[in-house]
Amino acid sequence: MHQDCEKILFSHEEIEKRCIELGEEMTTFYQDKKVPIVVGLLKGSVPFMSELIKHIDLDIEIDFMDVSSYEGTESVGDVRIVKDLDRSIRDQNILLVEDIVDTGKTLAKVKELLYQKGASDVKIITLLDKPSRRVQHVEADFVGFKVPDCFIIGFGLDYNQKYRNLPYVGILKKEIYIK
Ligand code: IMP
Ligand code: MG
């Protein structure tokens, strides 16, 4: 275990197992629907998305989007597109992949944005859900694991861009971010 990690919440094996289940669930869910474009939100979704799509048995396409959140003077967070999608998503089903849903501000905005671009349906799949922190009313349609209100690292999740490559999901030691 990494020295900055307080505790492992989900091991690599547990994550792999959950990704198989979720992939199979996606296969069944989209079986009789238009095959979705799987859209990952950079950078946190990358490890989860790589693991997940191996188990979706449909002719999906993948794409990525990068947004940066900033808070203006209003209380509602706003997002800026840093990297846009490569293709048009008009009349397409979108499966949006996230690493974690925390306050829900990012997802609420991105979901709205995808509908503005003409998507016919947007479903959200997230590796982790921190429901205790929700501000915006946006729920993931599919959740890997629920996590407590702690700072989470690993399997895509970072603190100052570090720890994304950890093969497990864990809690960051408080002394690392409280100085
Ligand atoms: P939201 O807009 O508050 O839901 O923020 C979601 C984004 O914040 C996620 O995509 C993560 O990038 C980041 N985030 C939220 N909680 C954590 C955490 O515990 N560890 C690392 N990143 C987090
Ligand atoms: Mg993120």
DSSP 149-169: SS-EEBTTB-BTTBSTT-SSE
Angle, helices 46-53/12-29, rounded to nearest 10 degrees: 60
d(CA 128, CA 10): 10
3-state helix, strand and coil shares in percent for the chain, rounded to the nearest 5: 25, 35, 40
Q: Is 102 among the catalytic positions?
A: yes
Residues 100, 128 contacting (CB under 8 angstroms): yes
pLDDT at position 76 is 45
Q: Is the CB of 44 under 6 A from ligand 1?
A: yes
DSSP letters, 96-140, are EEEEEESSSHHHHHHHHHHHHTT-SEEEEEEEEE-GGG--S----
Taking only the tens of pLDDT, the chain with its 179 residues reads 999 999 999 999 999 999 999 999 999 999 999 999 999 999 999 999 999 999 999 999 999 999 987 654 443 457 788 999 999 999 999 999 999 999 888 899 999 999 999 999 999 999 999 988 777 778 899 999 999 999 999 999 999 999 999 999 999 999 999 87
Domain range summary for the chain, segments of one domain joined by +: 12-150
Considering just the CA atoms, what is the radius of gyration of the chain in Å? 16
pTM: 0.94
| Domain 12-150 belongs in CATH node 3.40.50.2020 | yes
Closest to 112 (Cα-Cα) out of 152, 158, 78, 82: 78
Q: What is the pLDDT of residue 71?
A: 55
Q: Say if strands 142-146 and 121-129 run parallel, antiparallel, or are unpaired.
A: parallel
Measured from the Cα of 135, ligand 1's closest atom is 3
Q: Whose CA is nearest to atom 8 of ligand 1?
A: 102
